[in-house]
Amino acid sequence: MSIQKIMVIGAGQMGSGIAQVCAQAGFDVKLNDMKEEFFARGLGTITKNLSRNVEKGRMTESEKEAVLGRLTKSLDINDANDVDLVIEAAVENMSVKQAIFKQLDAIAPAHAILASNTSSLPITELAAVTNRPEQVIGMHFMNPVPVMKLVEIIRGLATSDDVYQAIEDMTKKLEKVPVEVNDFPGFVANRILMPMINEAIYTLYEGVANKEAIDDVMKLGMNHPMGPLTLADFIGLDTCLYIMETLHEGFGDSKYRPCPLLRKYVKAGWLGKKTGRGFYIYES
Ligand SMILES: CC(=O)CC(=O)SCCNC(=O)CCNC(=O)[C@H](O)C(C)(C)COP(=O)(O)OP(=O)(O)OC[C@H]1O[C@@H](n2cnc3c(N)ncnc32)[C@H](O)[C@@H]1OP(=O)(O)O
Ligand SMILES: NC(=O)C1=CN([C@@H]2O[C@H](COP(=O)(O)OP(=O)(O)OC[C@H]3O[C@@H](n4cnc5c(N)ncnc54)[C@H](O)[C@@H]3O)[C@@H](O)[C@H]2O)C=CC1
CB 247 within 8 A of CB 190: yes
CB 246 within 8 A of CB 120: yes
Integer Rg of the chain from CA: 19
| 49 touches ligand 1 (CB under 6 Å) | yes
Ligand nearest to the CA of 148: 1
Residues 6 or more apart whose Cβ sits within 8 Å of residue 97: 88, 90, 116, 118, 121, 126
Strand partners, 150: 177
The pLDDT of residue 1 = 74
Single out the residue of 112, 121, 111 nearest to residue 90, CA to CA.
121
Strand partners, 88: 9, 116
Catalytic residue numbers, as ranges: 119, 140, 152, 190
Residue nearest (by alpha carbon) to ligand 2 atom 9: 89
> Is 147 exposed, middle or buried, given 0-12, 13-18 or 19+ CB atoms closer than 10 A?
exposed
Single out the residue of 129, 100, 132 nearest to residue 116, CA to CA.
100
Question: Which atom number of ligand 1 is nearest to the Cα of residue 239?
Answer: 1
- Positions of the chain with pLDDT under 50: none
**3-class secondary structure, 77:** helix
| 52 touches ligand 1 (CB under 6 Å) | yes
CB 238 within 8 A of CB 271: yes
Name the residue of 8, 9, 13, 191 to mutate for ligand 2: max ligand atoms within 8 A of Cβ: 13
Q: What is the per-residue DSSP string for 166-182?
A: HHHHHHHHTT-EEEEEE
Q: What's the CA-to-centroid distance between 233 and ligand 1, angstroms? A: 13
Strand partners, 140: 152
The pLDDT of residue 73 = 98
- Rounded to an integer, what distance in angstroms lies between the CA atom of residue 149 and that of residue 224? 16
In degrees to the nearest 10, what's the CA dihedral of 108, 183, 8, 179? -120
| 267 touches ligand 1 (CB under 6 Å) | no
| 258 touches ligand 2 (CB under 6 Å) | no
- The amino acid present at 197, given as its one-letter code, is I
| 33 touches ligand 2 (CB under 6 Å) | yes
Q: What's the CA-to-centroid distance between 208 and ligand 2, angstroms? A: 33
Ranges of beta strands (E only) in the chain are 5-9, 28-32, 71-74, 85-88, 113-116, 136-141, 150-155, 177-182
> Is 222 exposed, middle or buried, given 0-12, 13-18 or 19+ CB atoms closer than 10 A?
exposed
Strand partners, 8: 31, 87
Question: Which atom number of ligand 2 is nearest to the Cα of residue 35?
Answer: 35
Percent of the chain surpassing pLDDT 70: 100
The pLDDT of residue 229 = 98
CB 51 within 8 A of CB 57: no
Q: What's the CA-to-centroid distance between 213 and ligand 2, angstroms? A: 30
Mean pLDDT value across the chain: 97
| 163 touches ligand 2 (CB under 6 Å) | no
Name the residue of 7, 9, 14 to mutate for ligand 2: max ligand atoms within 8 A of Cβ: 14
Residues 6 or more apart whose Cβ sits within 8 Å of residue 223: none
Using alpha carbons, list the distances in angstroms from residue 206 to 81, 199, 256, 260, 273: 52, 10, 17, 11, 23
Question: Which atom number of ligand 2 is nearest to the Cα of residue 90?
Answer: 22
- Rounded to an integer, what distance in angstroms lies between the CA atom of residue 182 and that of residue 191? 12
| 139 touches ligand 1 (CB under 6 Å) | no
The pLDDT of residue 21 = 98
pLDDT tens for 173-197 read 999 999 999 999 999 999 999 999 9
| 265 touches ligand 2 (CB under 6 Å) | no
CB 152 within 8 A of CB 181: yes
CB 9 within 8 A of CB 90: yes
